Amino acid sequence: MPASPERLLLSSVLRQGDLKTAIAHGVTADMFHEFSDEWVWLEGYFRKFNKVPSKATFVGKFSDFRVVQADDTVYLTEEVKKKHVQTVLIERLGEVAEAVADGDVDTAVRIMNSSIVQVSGSVGHAGDSDIFTDFADVLAEVESRHERAKTSGSAGIPYGIKTLDEVTGGQNPGELIIVAARLGQGKSWIMQYLAAMASASGHSVVFNALEQTRMQVATRIHALLSGCVYEKVYNAKNPTGAFNSNHLQRGQDFSLIDYRRFLRDLKAKVPGQLNVSDVSRGRVSTMTIAGQIERHQPDILYVDYITLLQKSGPDWQGVAELSSDLTQLSTRYQIPVVAAAQLNREHGLGKDPAGPEAIAQADAIGQDASLVLTFRQWSKHVLAGRVAKNRNGEGDARFYLEFRPGEGIIREVSFNKAQDIMDQDKDEAAALEDAK
C-alpha cells in the first residue's frame, strides 16, 4: 500500500532537515489529518531549537512512525494540500447530505459556504518567483498606480476624504478595510458615502445593506450624490441644493419634478455603477458575496455590516470565520472589501476614536484587516476619524468631518472648523432647551 502524502512529507522534511520549504509553500498543521500530532510536535521543536530534529529523536517520540524514502519536499507539499482539500470537502459534503436529508436547508447552505471559502486558500501554488528578474507584473501595477495617482489624486479607489486618500493611497485591491463606530454614530452613512464616491469616480460598486432596505440606501445615496458630487443640483426647495433623504423617504417637502430630473440625469453624471443588495431575498453569506463578485465583477464591495452576515458557528468563532473569508475573497478577486463593524460599548466613553482592539465580538476582525478606520461622534454635526491600523503605511492619522448626511453633506474640515461647528451645535442645543 503506498505511503500517504502526509507520511511522505514528514519523511522528506526529516531526511532533508528542511522544514522552512514546506512552510513557505503554505503547509499548515490543519492540513494533517493522519499525522497531526507528529506535524504539530515537529513545528514546536523547530520553533524552540531553530532546527529539524534528527530521525532518531523523532522516532523516539513517535515510535509507530516509519520514515520512508522521500526527498521531494516541494512536490509533496502540494500533494498534502490537495489531499487536505479532498478530505475537507468529503467530510463537509457528508454533513451537507445529512442536513438536506433532515430538511435543514439553511444548515446545509452554511456548511457549503464555510467549507468552500475555507479550502479555496489551500489550492493552487505559492507562485514564488525572483522579484529581481521577474518584475514585469510589478512594474505594470506600479505604472498603473502612478498614472491613477497623477490623474485622480489616488492610486486606489478614492475615499473622497483627502487625509485618507493621502495616507492610504485609496481603497486598494486585496485589502479588507474595516469601518468601525459605536451604534448610531454614523458608520452606515460613512459606508454609503464611500460607495457613492467610488461610483462617482467611475468604479463599479456592490453594496450589501444588511439592516436597511434597498430603497432606504438608494435615497440616502441620492442625497449624498446631490450634495457631495454635483456642483449644481436641482432641488430649489432646499437651501443647500441637495435632496434631503428624510424628505425623500417621507415623500414630502421636496420637488418631485426636480427629483425626477435628477434621476434621469444621474447616469450621465455618475460614470460608475452601484448595485445594492438587501436581505429581502434571504440572509447574505460570504458565499452570496462570492456569487455577487462573479456576477457583477465589481471594482469594490461593501458590507454593512460584518456581524450581520450569516455565520457558520458560535458568535466569536463565526465572526472570526467571516473575517477570514472576506479577507480571502478580497485577495482571491483582487478587489477592496470594505466592511462596517461595531465598537464595544466600553470603548465609546472617551472622546478619542478607538483602536482596532475595540471592535466587538472578535479580535480576528482587527487582525485580518489591512486597514481599520474608527469614528467617534463629537457633536451632532461633527465626526472625528482615525486611521487606527494601516498595515501598508502610516497609522494613527486623524481627520474631522462635517456630518450632515441627511442633507447630503459629509466633508472633511480642519480641526478649528470642527470646533466652530461643535460650538454652533452647543448653542443650538442650548437655544432649544431654553425654548422648552
Domain boundaries, position 199: 146-435
Q: Per-residue pLDDT for 164 more than 90? A: yes
Tell me: do 76 and 35 sit in the same domain.
yes
Instruction: Give the three cell numbers for residue 32.
Output: 494533517
| Residue 434: exposure state from Cβ atoms within 10 A (0-12, 13-18, ≥19) | exposed
d(CA 325, CA 319): 10
CATH number at residue 391: 3.40.50.300
pLDDT at 132: 79
Tell me: do 105 and 152 sit in the same domain.
no
Instruction: Give the three cell numbers for residue 26.
Output: 503554505
Residues of the chain above pLDDT 70, percent = 89
Q: Per-residue pLDDT for 117 more than 70? A: no
Tell me: do 88 and 150 sit in the same domain.
no
Q: What share of the chain is helix, strand, coil (3-state, %, to 5)?
A: 55, 15, 35
d(CA 288, CA 269): 30
For residue 206, tell me if it sits in a domain.
yes
Tell me: do 192 and 340 sit in the same domain.
yes
The predicted-structure confidence for 168-198, as pLDDT tens digits, reads as follows 999 999 999 999 998 888 999 999 999 999 9
Tell me: do 116 and 182 sit in the same domain.
no
Tell me: do 115 and 188 sit in the same domain.
no
pLDDT at 135: 73
Tell me: do 54 and 167 sit in the same domain.
no
CATH number at residue 85: 1.10.860
Last residue of a domain, one of 85, 105, 120: 120
For residue 138, tell me if it sits in a domain.
no
pLDDT at 234: 43
What strands, in cross-sheet order, belong to the sheet with 273-277?
A: 273-277, 204-209, 300-304, 337-342, 176-181, 371-379, 382-390, 398-404, 409-413
- Higher pLDDT pick, 140 / 381: 381
For residue 363, tell me if it sits in a domain.
yes
pLDDT at 187: 92
Last residue of a domain, one of 86, 102, 120: 120
Last residue of a domain, one of 65, 86, 120: 120
Q: How confident is the model at residue 219 (pLDDT cuts 50, 70, 90)?
A: very high
For residue 384, tell me if it sits in a domain.
yes
Question: Is the distance from CB of 242 to CB of 405 less than 8 angstroms?
Answer: no
For residue 36, tell me if it sits in a domain.
yes
For residue 125, tell me if it sits in a domain.
no
Instruction: Share the mean pLDDT of the chain.
Output: 85
Q: Per-residue pLDDT for 298 more than 80? A: yes
pLDDT at 433: 77
pLDDT at 349: 47
The predicted-structure confidence for 39-70, as pLDDT tens digits, reads as follows 999 988 988 888 899 999 999 999 999 999 99
Tell me: do 233 and 346 sit in the same domain.
yes
pLDDT at 313: 60
Tell me: do 170 and 230 sit in the same domain.
yes
For residue 139, tell me if it sits in a domain.
no
Q: Domains in the chain: how many in total?
A: 2
- Higher pLDDT pick, 135 / 39: 39
Tell me: do 297 and 396 sit in the same domain.
yes
pLDDT at 384: 94
Tell me: do 170 and 266 sit in the same domain.
yes
Q: Per-residue pLDDT for 236 more than 50? A: no
Sorted by sequence, the CB contacts under 8 Å of residue 125 that are 6+ apart come out as: 25, 78
Tell me: do 220 and 325 sit in the same domain.
yes
Q: How many helices (H) and strands (E) does the chain have?
A: 16, 9
For residue 400, tell me if it sits in a domain.
yes
